[in-house]
Chains A and B, each alone.
Chain A
Amino acid sequence: MYLVKVYVTFKKGILDPQGVTIQGALEALDYKSVRDVRTGKYMELRLEAPTAEAAREQAEEMARRLLANPVIEDYRLEVEEAQA
């Protein structure tokens, strides 16, 4: 069993309206040091696979097809062994 952590973020240069709003709210709280806020999605998949490499390959395909929209989003995967 493997635990795959999937991080989906907007591509560079894509306006992130939620990030802009959060940055404005932080400024309003007087946190003037914040230069940029980017939001994203975090997903955990627990999946069966013979090896970590196989788990990554499966998750890559899932990310490409469904979990991220390649037009506006990038994704990053972390694969860990997990208890069955």
Chain B
Amino acid sequence: MKFGVVVFPGSNCDADCHHAVKNVLGAECDYLWHQDTSVAGYDAIILPGGFSYGDYLRTGAIARFSPIMAAVADFARAGGLVLGICNGFQILLEAGLLPGAMRRNAGLSFRCEFVNVRVENAATPFTSAYQAGQVLRLPIAHGEGNYYADPATLAALEAGRQVVLRYSEPDGRITPAANPNGSLGNVAALVNKEGNVLGMMPHPERSSEAILGSEDGRGILTSMLQYLQRRRAR
């Protein structure tokens, strides 16, 4: 199974993702340059965290027009697995591969800390290694993670069980106090209707080994690998 990590000017979690996939997960992994125009031969694409194009204009707004994003969009439409982490999530929203938009965090502070998230849907290619209702301890680091969608879109996301992770208390209760950025519905991660594109604000690659303070994020990558192996076996 071959993963590709897209490197945009300003990506700063690309090496972390590459390390987590290659050395922790043990899968093949390449860096893909933002000016590449093809993702042929890859089984999964990761858009890593960082500050693509300096986050000028809006987070993810300029990266969305990078040449490689047309290939990533085609790959996603054909059913390929795409994971957007933090800035990668913002890019997926700007590209329209996931619905909604990000605003500045409520309170305006950049939040860099461990948070708790509850697994809302364990039946996706990104979360099958978890149990529904399981609470994960994952790190966040962002200034614009305040998710917004209009009421009709949000209702459709809820009805389709597309909210995959929600900021929660350590015991799993969903409260305003557990929400670090003001996101509607405490949304921390979303999957598209087809289930093959996931955007998440917490960093699974930064919580994939005990030495990092949490291994809870590794399940995202493990789930992806297992999904790809099952798909290939069919």
Contact = CB atoms under 8 A, between A and B. Distances in A.
Interface of A: 14-18, 21, 41, 66-67, 69, 71-72
Interface string B80-111: 00000000000001100001110111111000
Query: Which 3 pairs from chain A and chain B are nearest by CB?
Result: A71-B101, A72-B101, A17-B104
B210 interface: no
A57 B189 CA distance: 37
Given A66-B65, A69-B58, A17 B148 contact: no
Interface of B: 57-58, 61-62, 65, 93-94, 99-101, 103-108, 146, 148-150, 182
Contacts of A21: 107-108
A18 B146 CA distance: 12
Contacts of B57: 41, 66-67
A26 B230 CA distance: 59
A66 B56 CA distance: 11
B167 to A, nearest CB: 17
Contacts of A67: 57
Contacts of A17: 103-108, 146, 182
Contact of B104 (A18, A69, A71): A18
Contacts of A14: 103, 148
Contacts of B108: 17-18, 21
A14 B149 CA distance: 10
A71 B100 contact: yes
A10 B65 CA distance: 22
A59 B23 CA distance: 48
B41 to A, nearest CB: 30
Contacts of A71: 93, 99-101, 148-150
A14 B150 CA distance: 9
12 contacts: A14-B103, A14-B148, A15-B106, A17-B107, A18-B108, A41-B57, A66-B57, A66-B62, A71-B93, A71-B101, A72-B101, A72-B148
Nearest to A13: B150
B61 A66 contact: yes
Nearest to B148: A72
A57 B94 CA distance: 22
A16 B58 CA distance: 14
A4 B154 CA distance: 35
